């Protein structure tokens, strides 16, 4: 029997990230119902919160890594991506620096919708795996979302947020 009081899988930080991740996913899945302004505002507000919640997670190692699963299909990702791209049109792209190795960077055009859909994919898989009623599944969910924050969606947030901020400024001025 797992003592949930001392188990990092059930820590306050994990539960808070799970709550924010679930909210993000539910909004993204219903983005078709919202205006461009509502979408920009929502993501401008939730991305910093997601970054904070992801950054305070302590990395853990899953005892049974074979219990890790991915759930989101390519079709589901594309649906979120296309919905957001269409809603943000014609303001979906921005320029960002891309590390190309050996201390070199390049500037490339990036899609806000792609950033948001990539974050969605990481968070949706986390939420779905954590919802399984097995400790090993939850442990894998936490281990993976912690790794993905460091290696994937944390950096994506830092790229997408300034672009969303600029869209907000354009709207106000």
What is the reported pLDDT for 173?
42
CATH fold of 8-172: 1.20.120
Can you tell me the distance from the alpha carbon of 161 to that of 117, in angstroms, rounded to the nearest whole number?
Answer: 14
What is the reported pLDDT for 64?
86
Q: What averages of pLDDT result for each successive group of 10 residues across the chain (173 residues)?
A: 76 97 98 97 98 96 85 95 97 84 78 98 97 94 97 96 92 58
**Tokens 């898989």 map to which residue?**
125
What is the reported pLDDT for 43?
98
What is the reported pLDDT for 1?
46
């Amino acid at each position: 029997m797992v003592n949930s009081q001392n188990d990092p899988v059930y820590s306050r930080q994990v539960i808070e990230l799970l709550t924010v991740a679930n909210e993000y996913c539910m909004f993204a899945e219903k983005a078709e119902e919202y205006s461009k302004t509502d979408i920009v505002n929502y993501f401008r507000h939730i991305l910093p919160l997601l970054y904070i919640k992801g950054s305070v997670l302590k990395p853990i190692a899953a005892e049974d890594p074979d219990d890790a699963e991915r759930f989101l299909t390519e079709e589901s990702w594309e649906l979120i991506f296309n919905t957001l791209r269409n809603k943000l049109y014609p303001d979906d792209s921005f320029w960002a620096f891309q590390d190309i190795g050996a201390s070199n960077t390049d500037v490339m055009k990036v899609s806000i919708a792609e950033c948001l859909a990539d974050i969605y994919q990481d968070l949706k898989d986390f939420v779905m795996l954590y919802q399984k009623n097995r400790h090993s599944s939850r442990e894998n969910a936490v281990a993976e979302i912690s790794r993905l924050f460091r290696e994937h969606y944390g950096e994506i947030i830092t790229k997408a947020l300034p672009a969303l901020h600029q869209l907000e400024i354009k709207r106000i001025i």
